[in-house]
Amino acid sequence: MTISRQLQYALIKNVAAPLLVKTDAWKSARSFRAKKDKPNPPFGPRLESYIKLKELMLEHYFTGRYADGAVPVAWITSGSPVELLRPFGFHIVYPENHAALCAVRRRAKDLCVHAENEGFCRDLCSYARTDFGSVMSGQTPVGRVPKPDLLVTCTNICQTALAWYKVLARKFNVPLYVFDTPFIYGEGEEHDVDYIVAQFHELIEMCEKVTGRKLDQKQLTYHTQLGCECSKAWGKVLDLCRNRPAPMTTFDAFIYIGPIVAMRGLPECLSFYKFLHDELQDRVSRGIGAIQNERYRLLWDNLPIWFAIRDLSTAFAQGGFNFVCSTYTNAWAETAHHFDPNDVYRSSAKLYSRIILNRDLRNKADLILKLCRDFQCDGAVLHSDRSCKPYSVGQYNLADILNREHGIKTMILEADHGDPRSYSPEQGELRVKAFMETFQ
Protein backbone atom coordinates (compact mmCIF):
# COMPACT_ATOMS: atom_id res chain seq x y z
CA MET A 1 0.00 0.00 0.00
CA THR A 2 1.37 3.43 -0.90
CA ILE A 3 0.52 6.75 0.76
CA SER A 4 -0.34 8.34 -2.60
CA ARG A 5 -2.81 5.55 -3.40
CA GLN A 6 -4.34 5.79 0.05
CA LEU A 7 -4.80 9.55 -0.32
CA GLN A 8 -6.32 9.10 -3.77
CA TYR A 9 -8.68 6.43 -2.46
CA ALA A 10 -9.74 8.61 0.50
CA LEU A 11 -10.43 11.49 -1.87
CA ILE A 12 -12.46 9.28 -4.19
CA LYS A 13 -14.40 7.65 -1.37
CA ASN A 14 -15.14 10.78 0.65
CA VAL A 15 -15.47 13.44 -2.05
CA ALA A 16 -15.68 12.21 -5.66
CA ALA A 17 -17.97 9.20 -5.11
CA PRO A 18 -20.57 11.10 -3.02
CA LEU A 19 -20.56 13.92 -5.58
CA LEU A 20 -21.02 11.46 -8.45
CA VAL A 21 -23.83 9.73 -6.57
CA LYS A 22 -25.61 13.02 -5.85
CA THR A 23 -25.39 14.04 -9.50
CA ASP A 24 -26.70 10.69 -10.69
CA ALA A 25 -29.42 10.74 -8.02
CA TRP A 26 -30.59 14.16 -9.18
CA LYS A 27 -30.82 12.93 -12.77
CA SER A 28 -32.57 9.71 -11.72
CA ALA A 29 -35.06 11.57 -9.50
CA ARG A 30 -35.86 13.96 -12.31
CA SER A 31 -36.45 11.04 -14.69
CA PHE A 32 -38.53 9.24 -12.04
CA ARG A 33 -40.78 12.25 -11.49
CA ALA A 34 -41.34 12.55 -15.22
CA LYS A 35 -42.44 8.89 -15.45
CA LYS A 36 -44.09 8.51 -12.03
CA ASP A 37 -47.66 9.32 -13.04
CA LYS A 38 -47.49 7.83 -16.53
CA PRO A 39 -49.18 4.45 -17.15
CA ASN A 40 -46.79 1.52 -16.99
CA PRO A 41 -48.88 -1.46 -18.17
CA PRO A 42 -48.91 -4.30 -17.34
CA PHE A 43 -47.05 -3.18 -14.21
CA GLY A 44 -48.00 -0.99 -11.29
CA PRO A 45 -46.28 2.29 -10.34
CA ARG A 46 -42.50 2.41 -10.45
CA LEU A 47 -40.58 1.91 -7.20
CA GLU A 48 -38.64 4.94 -5.99
CA SER A 49 -36.24 2.58 -4.20
CA TYR A 50 -34.63 1.84 -7.55
CA ILE A 51 -32.98 5.27 -7.40
CA LYS A 52 -31.47 4.41 -4.02
CA LEU A 53 -30.29 1.07 -5.39
CA LYS A 54 -28.50 2.75 -8.29
CA GLU A 55 -26.80 5.17 -5.88
CA LEU A 56 -25.61 2.37 -3.63
CA MET A 57 -24.22 0.15 -6.39
CA LEU A 58 -22.69 3.08 -8.27
CA GLU A 59 -20.76 4.21 -5.20
CA HIS A 60 -19.63 0.63 -4.46
CA TYR A 61 -18.25 -0.04 -7.92
CA PHE A 62 -16.86 3.47 -8.49
CA THR A 63 -14.96 3.45 -5.20
CA GLY A 64 -13.69 -0.03 -6.02
CA ARG A 65 -11.89 1.23 -9.13
CA TYR A 66 -9.31 2.89 -6.87
CA ALA A 67 -9.20 0.36 -4.01
CA ASP A 68 -6.17 -1.80 -4.90
CA GLY A 69 -2.93 -0.33 -3.64
CA ALA A 70 -4.85 1.72 -1.09
CA VAL A 71 -6.74 -0.86 0.96
CA PRO A 72 -6.65 -4.66 0.93
CA VAL A 73 -8.95 -6.19 -1.70
CA ALA A 74 -10.59 -9.61 -1.52
CA TRP A 75 -12.53 -11.42 -4.23
CA ILE A 76 -14.96 -13.91 -2.72
CA THR A 77 -17.83 -16.17 -3.74
CA SER A 78 -21.37 -15.33 -2.67
CA GLY A 79 -21.53 -18.17 -0.14
CA SER A 80 -18.32 -17.21 1.65
CA PRO A 81 -18.28 -15.86 5.24
CA VAL A 82 -17.65 -12.23 4.35
CA GLU A 83 -18.10 -11.08 7.94
CA LEU A 84 -14.70 -12.57 8.79
CA LEU A 85 -13.07 -10.22 6.28
CA ARG A 86 -14.86 -6.98 7.22
CA PRO A 87 -12.81 -6.25 10.39
CA PHE A 88 -9.62 -6.24 8.31
CA GLY A 89 -10.78 -3.39 6.07
CA PHE A 90 -11.01 -5.37 2.83
CA HIS A 91 -12.81 -3.91 -0.16
CA ILE A 92 -14.91 -6.89 -1.19
CA VAL A 93 -15.51 -7.90 -4.80
CA TYR A 94 -18.07 -10.56 -5.73
CA PRO A 95 -17.28 -11.81 -9.25
CA GLU A 96 -20.78 -13.40 -9.43
CA ASN A 97 -22.43 -10.06 -8.73
CA HIS A 98 -20.23 -8.40 -11.35
CA ALA A 99 -21.01 -11.17 -13.87
CA ALA A 100 -24.75 -10.76 -13.26
CA LEU A 101 -24.40 -7.03 -13.87
CA CYS A 102 -22.56 -7.78 -17.13
CA ALA A 103 -25.42 -10.09 -18.17
CA VAL A 104 -28.10 -7.50 -17.39
CA ARG A 105 -26.21 -4.96 -19.49
CA ARG A 106 -25.84 -7.47 -22.35
CA ARG A 107 -22.05 -7.63 -22.04
CA ALA A 108 -21.73 -11.24 -20.85
CA LYS A 109 -21.88 -12.89 -24.28
CA ASP A 110 -18.78 -11.12 -25.61
CA LEU A 111 -16.89 -11.78 -22.38
CA CYS A 112 -17.84 -15.47 -22.49
CA VAL A 113 -16.62 -15.70 -26.10
CA HIS A 114 -13.34 -14.06 -25.09
CA ALA A 115 -12.87 -16.69 -22.36
CA GLU A 116 -13.71 -19.50 -24.78
CA ASN A 117 -11.15 -18.17 -27.25
CA GLU A 118 -8.61 -18.45 -24.41
CA GLY A 119 -9.44 -22.16 -24.08
CA PHE A 120 -12.26 -22.30 -21.52
CA CYS A 121 -15.10 -24.69 -22.35
CA ARG A 122 -18.54 -23.32 -23.17
CA ASP A 123 -20.07 -25.83 -20.75
CA LEU A 124 -18.39 -23.99 -17.88
CA CYS A 125 -20.56 -21.74 -15.67
CA SER A 126 -21.31 -18.50 -17.53
CA TYR A 127 -20.46 -16.50 -14.39
CA ALA A 128 -16.96 -18.01 -14.47
CA ARG A 129 -16.58 -17.45 -18.21
CA THR A 130 -17.78 -13.86 -17.87
CA ASP A 131 -15.28 -13.30 -15.08
CA PHE A 132 -12.41 -14.87 -17.02
CA GLY A 133 -13.32 -12.84 -20.09
CA SER A 134 -13.35 -9.64 -18.07
CA VAL A 135 -10.05 -10.39 -16.31
CA MET A 136 -8.28 -11.32 -19.55
CA SER A 137 -9.68 -8.53 -21.72
CA GLY A 138 -9.89 -5.79 -19.10
CA GLN A 139 -13.45 -5.09 -20.25
CA THR A 140 -16.18 -4.32 -17.72
CA PRO A 141 -19.28 -2.11 -17.65
CA VAL A 142 -18.20 -0.72 -14.25
CA GLY A 143 -15.03 0.92 -15.55
CA ARG A 144 -12.50 -1.15 -13.64
CA VAL A 145 -12.47 -3.98 -11.09
CA PRO A 146 -9.66 -3.75 -8.49
CA LYS A 147 -7.06 -6.50 -8.41
CA PRO A 148 -7.26 -8.86 -5.42
CA ASP A 149 -4.80 -9.34 -2.58
CA LEU A 150 -6.73 -12.39 -1.38
CA LEU A 151 -9.17 -14.88 -2.90
CA VAL A 152 -11.76 -16.73 -0.82
CA THR A 153 -14.06 -19.40 -2.22
CA CYS A 154 -16.53 -21.72 -0.57
CA THR A 155 -17.78 -25.16 -1.60
CA ASN A 156 -21.32 -24.60 -0.30
CA ILE A 157 -22.56 -23.36 -3.70
CA CYS A 158 -20.68 -25.50 -6.24
CA GLN A 159 -17.41 -27.23 -7.02
CA THR A 160 -16.88 -25.05 -10.09
CA ALA A 161 -16.01 -22.17 -7.75
CA LEU A 162 -12.99 -24.13 -6.53
CA ALA A 163 -11.50 -24.57 -10.02
CA TRP A 164 -12.57 -21.02 -10.97
CA TYR A 165 -10.65 -19.45 -8.08
CA LYS A 166 -7.59 -21.62 -8.68
CA VAL A 167 -7.40 -20.04 -12.14
CA LEU A 168 -7.68 -16.57 -10.58
CA ALA A 169 -5.01 -17.39 -7.98
CA ARG A 170 -2.54 -18.33 -10.75
CA LYS A 171 -3.49 -15.26 -12.78
CA PHE A 172 -3.02 -12.76 -9.95
CA ASN A 173 -0.41 -14.73 -7.96
CA VAL A 174 -2.22 -14.13 -4.66
CA PRO A 175 -3.22 -16.41 -1.76
CA LEU A 176 -6.38 -18.50 -2.10
CA TYR A 177 -8.38 -19.82 0.83
CA VAL A 178 -10.80 -22.65 0.08
CA PHE A 179 -13.55 -22.73 2.68
CA ASP A 180 -14.96 -26.27 2.68
CA THR A 181 -18.47 -26.99 3.95
CA PRO A 182 -19.61 -30.62 4.29
CA PHE A 183 -22.80 -31.40 2.36
CA ILE A 184 -25.71 -31.49 4.79
CA TYR A 185 -28.10 -34.44 4.84
CA GLY A 186 -31.04 -33.99 7.17
CA GLU A 187 -30.17 -31.58 9.98
CA GLY A 188 -26.41 -32.09 9.92
CA GLU A 189 -23.97 -33.10 12.67
CA GLU A 190 -22.08 -31.18 15.33
CA HIS A 191 -18.74 -32.45 14.04
CA ASP A 192 -19.54 -30.66 10.77
CA VAL A 193 -19.78 -27.44 12.77
CA ASP A 194 -16.44 -28.17 14.49
CA TYR A 195 -14.79 -28.68 11.09
CA ILE A 196 -16.11 -25.36 9.77
CA VAL A 197 -15.19 -23.38 12.89
CA ALA A 198 -11.60 -24.62 12.61
CA GLN A 199 -11.52 -23.18 9.10
CA PHE A 200 -12.81 -19.82 10.35
CA HIS A 201 -9.67 -19.53 12.48
CA GLU A 202 -7.45 -20.53 9.56
CA LEU A 203 -9.04 -17.86 7.36
CA ILE A 204 -8.57 -15.26 10.09
CA GLU A 205 -4.87 -16.14 10.28
CA MET A 206 -4.55 -15.71 6.52
CA CYS A 207 -6.32 -12.33 6.66
CA GLU A 208 -3.91 -11.22 9.39
CA LYS A 209 -0.92 -12.18 7.21
CA VAL A 210 -2.28 -10.46 4.10
CA THR A 211 -3.27 -7.21 5.84
CA GLY A 212 -0.73 -7.03 8.66
CA ARG A 213 -3.59 -6.46 11.11
CA LYS A 214 -4.82 -8.45 14.09
CA LEU A 215 -8.45 -9.45 14.33
CA ASP A 216 -10.64 -7.08 16.36
CA GLN A 217 -13.14 -9.48 17.97
CA LYS A 218 -15.61 -6.67 18.68
CA GLN A 219 -15.57 -5.68 15.00
CA LEU A 220 -16.13 -9.30 13.99
CA THR A 221 -19.16 -9.55 16.27
CA TYR A 222 -20.44 -6.19 14.99
CA HIS A 223 -20.18 -7.09 11.30
CA THR A 224 -21.54 -10.61 11.82
CA GLN A 225 -24.55 -9.33 13.72
CA LEU A 226 -25.04 -6.59 11.13
CA GLY A 227 -24.83 -9.19 8.35
CA CYS A 228 -27.52 -11.20 10.10
CA GLU A 229 -29.69 -8.08 10.45
CA CYS A 230 -29.21 -7.36 6.72
CA SER A 231 -30.39 -10.87 5.86
CA LYS A 232 -33.39 -10.58 8.16
CA ALA A 233 -34.27 -7.18 6.68
CA TRP A 234 -34.09 -8.70 3.21
CA GLY A 235 -36.33 -11.52 4.41
CA LYS A 236 -38.89 -8.99 5.68
CA VAL A 237 -38.87 -7.32 2.25
CA LEU A 238 -39.54 -10.65 0.56
CA ASP A 239 -42.26 -11.55 3.07
CA LEU A 240 -44.33 -8.52 2.02
CA CYS A 241 -45.08 -10.41 -1.19
CA ARG A 242 -47.29 -12.75 0.82
CA ASN A 243 -49.88 -9.99 0.51
CA ARG A 244 -52.44 -9.91 -2.31
CA PRO A 245 -51.67 -8.14 -4.52
CA ALA A 246 -47.92 -8.48 -4.00
CA PRO A 247 -46.21 -5.06 -3.88
CA MET A 248 -43.27 -6.22 -6.03
CA THR A 249 -42.41 -9.12 -8.28
CA THR A 250 -39.64 -11.67 -7.93
CA PHE A 251 -38.14 -10.12 -11.07
CA ASP A 252 -37.86 -6.86 -9.08
CA ALA A 253 -36.29 -8.82 -6.22
CA PHE A 254 -33.66 -10.21 -8.60
CA ILE A 255 -32.48 -6.62 -9.14
CA TYR A 256 -32.83 -5.54 -5.50
CA ILE A 257 -30.75 -8.50 -4.34
CA GLY A 258 -27.53 -6.62 -5.23
CA PRO A 259 -26.75 -5.11 -1.81
CA ILE A 260 -27.34 -8.29 0.21
CA VAL A 261 -24.86 -10.07 -2.07
CA ALA A 262 -22.21 -7.35 -2.44
CA MET A 263 -22.57 -5.35 0.81
CA ARG A 264 -23.74 -7.81 3.44
CA GLY A 265 -22.48 -6.77 6.87
CA LEU A 266 -22.37 -3.03 6.09
CA PRO A 267 -24.75 -0.40 7.57
CA GLU A 268 -25.65 1.03 4.15
CA CYS A 269 -27.01 -2.37 3.12
CA LEU A 270 -29.30 -2.49 6.15
CA SER A 271 -30.45 1.10 5.59
CA PHE A 272 -31.37 0.36 2.01
CA TYR A 273 -33.56 -2.63 2.86
CA LYS A 274 -35.34 -0.65 5.57
CA PHE A 275 -36.07 2.05 2.97
CA LEU A 276 -37.30 -0.53 0.46
CA HIS A 277 -39.43 -2.24 3.12
CA ASP A 278 -41.11 1.05 4.04
CA GLU A 279 -41.96 1.81 0.41
CA LEU A 280 -43.39 -1.67 -0.15
CA GLN A 281 -45.31 -1.57 3.14
CA ASP A 282 -46.91 1.68 2.02
CA ARG A 283 -48.00 -0.05 -1.20
CA VAL A 284 -49.50 -2.91 0.79
CA SER A 285 -51.48 -0.52 2.99
CA ARG A 286 -52.87 1.19 -0.12
CA GLY A 287 -53.54 -2.04 -2.01
CA ILE A 288 -51.08 -1.23 -4.81
CA GLY A 289 -49.75 -4.26 -6.68
CA ALA A 290 -46.57 -4.79 -8.66
CA ILE A 291 -48.66 -5.79 -11.67
CA GLN A 292 -52.01 -4.32 -12.61
CA ASN A 293 -54.03 -7.53 -12.72
CA GLU A 294 -52.67 -10.19 -10.37
CA ARG A 295 -54.70 -13.32 -11.05
CA TYR A 296 -52.18 -16.09 -10.44
CA ARG A 297 -49.12 -16.35 -8.20
CA LEU A 298 -45.95 -18.25 -9.11
CA LEU A 299 -42.66 -19.43 -7.61
CA TRP A 300 -39.35 -19.23 -9.49
CA ASP A 301 -36.63 -21.82 -8.89
CA ASN A 302 -32.94 -21.32 -9.73
CA LEU A 303 -30.95 -18.28 -10.82
CA PRO A 304 -32.59 -15.57 -12.93
CA ILE A 305 -32.15 -15.43 -16.70
CA TRP A 306 -30.48 -12.09 -16.24
CA PHE A 307 -30.57 -10.93 -19.85
CA ALA A 308 -34.28 -11.81 -20.25
CA ILE A 309 -35.72 -10.44 -17.00
CA ARG A 310 -37.69 -7.65 -18.66
CA ASP A 311 -39.11 -9.82 -21.46
CA LEU A 312 -40.16 -12.63 -19.13
CA SER A 313 -41.65 -10.35 -16.49
CA THR A 314 -43.70 -8.55 -19.15
CA ALA A 315 -44.92 -11.77 -20.78
CA PHE A 316 -46.16 -13.20 -17.47
CA ALA A 317 -47.58 -9.91 -16.17
CA GLN A 318 -49.63 -9.43 -19.34
CA GLY A 319 -51.38 -12.71 -18.52
CA GLY A 320 -51.99 -11.70 -14.90
CA PHE A 321 -49.21 -13.92 -13.50
CA ASN A 322 -47.00 -12.55 -10.74
CA PHE A 323 -43.90 -14.28 -9.42
CA VAL A 324 -44.11 -13.69 -5.68
CA CYS A 325 -41.25 -15.83 -4.32
CA SER A 326 -38.06 -17.59 -5.39
CA THR A 327 -35.66 -20.13 -3.95
CA TYR A 328 -32.83 -17.88 -5.19
CA THR A 329 -33.85 -14.64 -3.47
CA ASN A 330 -34.87 -16.60 -0.38
CA ALA A 331 -31.35 -18.08 -0.09
CA TRP A 332 -29.99 -14.83 1.37
CA ALA A 333 -32.59 -14.84 4.15
CA GLU A 334 -33.44 -18.46 4.95
CA THR A 335 -30.51 -19.26 7.27
CA ALA A 336 -30.29 -15.97 9.21
CA HIS A 337 -32.21 -17.46 12.14
CA HIS A 338 -29.21 -19.68 12.93
CA PHE A 339 -27.14 -16.69 14.08
CA ASP A 340 -26.44 -16.31 17.79
CA PRO A 341 -24.45 -13.19 18.83
CA ASN A 342 -23.29 -15.08 21.94
CA ASP A 343 -21.69 -17.81 19.82
CA VAL A 344 -20.52 -16.10 16.63
CA TYR A 345 -18.36 -18.90 15.25
CA ARG A 346 -20.60 -21.92 15.71
CA SER A 347 -23.79 -20.15 14.72
CA SER A 348 -22.10 -18.69 11.62
CA ALA A 349 -20.91 -22.19 10.72
CA LYS A 350 -24.53 -23.38 10.73
CA LEU A 351 -25.66 -20.32 8.81
CA TYR A 352 -23.19 -20.83 5.95
CA SER A 353 -23.44 -24.62 5.70
CA ARG A 354 -27.23 -24.85 5.57
CA ILE A 355 -27.99 -22.86 2.45
CA ILE A 356 -30.17 -24.50 -0.20
CA LEU A 357 -27.37 -25.66 -2.53
CA ASN A 358 -25.52 -27.42 0.28
CA ARG A 359 -28.46 -29.58 1.35
CA ASP A 360 -30.21 -32.66 -0.01
CA LEU A 361 -33.04 -32.75 -2.55
CA ARG A 362 -35.67 -33.57 0.06
CA ASN A 363 -34.84 -30.34 1.86
CA LYS A 364 -35.21 -28.40 -1.39
CA ALA A 365 -38.58 -30.00 -2.11
CA ASP A 366 -39.79 -29.21 1.41
CA LEU A 367 -38.57 -25.62 1.07
CA ILE A 368 -40.36 -25.11 -2.24
CA LEU A 369 -43.58 -26.57 -0.84
CA LYS A 370 -43.35 -24.29 2.19
CA LEU A 371 -42.79 -21.23 -0.02
CA CYS A 372 -45.72 -22.22 -2.21
CA ARG A 373 -47.95 -22.52 0.85
CA ASP A 374 -46.74 -19.33 2.55
CA PHE A 375 -47.02 -17.23 -0.62
CA GLN A 376 -50.18 -18.95 -1.91
CA CYS A 377 -48.58 -19.99 -5.20
CA ASP A 378 -50.68 -21.53 -7.97
CA GLY A 379 -47.69 -22.75 -9.94
CA ALA A 380 -43.91 -22.86 -10.26
CA VAL A 381 -41.38 -22.24 -13.03
CA LEU A 382 -38.17 -24.22 -12.68
CA HIS A 383 -35.31 -22.71 -14.64
CA SER A 384 -33.16 -25.57 -15.89
CA ASP A 385 -29.91 -23.64 -16.02
CA ARG A 386 -27.43 -24.98 -18.57
CA SER A 387 -24.36 -23.76 -16.72
CA CYS A 388 -25.49 -24.17 -13.09
CA LYS A 389 -25.72 -27.93 -12.68
CA PRO A 390 -25.88 -28.02 -8.84
CA TYR A 391 -28.97 -25.81 -8.83
CA SER A 392 -30.63 -27.64 -11.73
CA VAL A 393 -30.08 -31.25 -10.71
CA GLY A 394 -33.27 -33.01 -9.64
CA GLN A 395 -35.66 -30.45 -11.08
CA TYR A 396 -37.68 -33.00 -13.04
CA ASN A 397 -38.15 -34.95 -9.80
CA LEU A 398 -39.16 -31.72 -8.06
CA ALA A 399 -41.66 -30.90 -10.81
CA ASP A 400 -43.17 -34.35 -10.41
CA ILE A 401 -43.45 -33.97 -6.64
CA LEU A 402 -45.07 -30.55 -6.94
CA ASN A 403 -47.47 -31.50 -9.70
CA ARG A 404 -48.44 -35.10 -8.99
CA GLU A 405 -48.36 -35.04 -5.18
CA HIS A 406 -49.48 -31.49 -4.46
CA GLY A 407 -51.36 -30.27 -7.52
CA ILE A 408 -49.01 -27.34 -8.20
CA LYS A 409 -48.67 -26.65 -11.92
CA THR A 410 -45.05 -26.59 -13.06
CA MET A 411 -42.98 -25.67 -16.09
CA ILE A 412 -39.33 -26.42 -16.87
CA LEU A 413 -37.74 -23.48 -18.71
CA GLU A 414 -34.39 -24.31 -20.29
CA ALA A 415 -31.94 -21.42 -20.49
CA ASP A 416 -28.77 -20.03 -18.87
CA HIS A 417 -28.32 -17.40 -16.21
CA GLY A 418 -25.74 -15.39 -18.16
CA ASP A 419 -25.09 -16.62 -21.72
CA PRO A 420 -27.90 -15.68 -24.17
CA ARG A 421 -26.63 -18.21 -26.73
CA SER A 422 -28.12 -20.96 -24.55
CA TYR A 423 -31.65 -19.58 -24.65
CA SER A 424 -34.17 -19.41 -27.48
CA PRO A 425 -36.56 -16.47 -26.88
CA GLU A 426 -39.01 -17.83 -29.45
CA GLN A 427 -39.13 -21.28 -27.88
CA GLY A 428 -39.29 -19.73 -24.42
CA GLU A 429 -42.24 -17.56 -25.44
CA LEU A 430 -44.14 -20.57 -26.76
CA ARG A 431 -43.54 -22.56 -23.58
CA VAL A 432 -44.59 -19.63 -21.41
CA LYS A 433 -47.84 -19.20 -23.38
CA ALA A 434 -48.59 -22.93 -23.23
CA PHE A 435 -47.96 -22.93 -19.46
CA MET A 436 -50.24 -19.96 -18.87
CA GLU A 437 -53.00 -21.58 -20.94
CA THR A 438 -53.13 -24.50 -18.49
CA PHE A 439 -54.59 -22.08 -15.91
CA GLN A 440 -57.57 -21.13 -18.09
Summarize pLDDT for 211-245 with one digit per residue, the tens.
999 999 999 999 999 999 999 999 999 999 999 99
Determine the Cα–Cα distance for residues 338 and 352; give it in Å rounded to an integer. 9
pTM of the model: 0.95
HSE-CB of 360 using CA atoms within 13 angstroms: 6
Among 216, 114, 240, 185, smallest CA distance to 354 is for: 185
Pairing of strands 379-385, 409-415: parallel
Question: Is the CA virtual torsion 184, 189, 195, 201 positive or negative?
Answer: positive
342 contact partners, CB below 8 Å, separation of at least 6 = none
The whole-angstrom distance between residue 229's C-alpha and the CA centroid of its chain comes to: 17
Answer whether 308's CB lies under 8 Å from 100's CB.
Answer: no
Q: What is the pLDDT along the chain (440 residues), one digit of tens a residue?
A: 677 888 888 888 888 888 888 888 777 777 767 676 677 889 999 899 999 999 999 999 999 999 999 999 999 999 999 999 999 999 999 999 999 999 999 999 999 999 999 999 999 999 999 999 999 999 999 999 999 999 999 999 998 999 999 999 999 999 999 999 999 998 889 999 999 999 999 999 999 999 999 999 999 999 999 999 999 999 999 999 999 999 999 999 999 999 999 999 999 999 999 999 999 999 999 999 999 999 999 999 999 999 999 999 999 999 999 999 999 999 999 999 999 988 999 999 999 999 999 999 889 999 999 999 999 999 999 999 999 989 999 999 999 999 988 999 999 999 999 999 999 999 999 999 999 999 98
Q: Is 35 exposed, middle or buried (0-12, 13-18, 19+ CB in 10 A)?
A: exposed
Answer whether 416's CB lies under 8 Å from 301's CB.
Answer: no
Answer whether 143's CB lies under 8 Å from 59's CB.
Answer: no
For the chain, what are the domain ranges? Answer: 3-437
Determine the Cα–Cα distance for residues 59 and 148; give it in Å rounded to an integer. 19
Residue-averaged pLDDT of the chain: 94
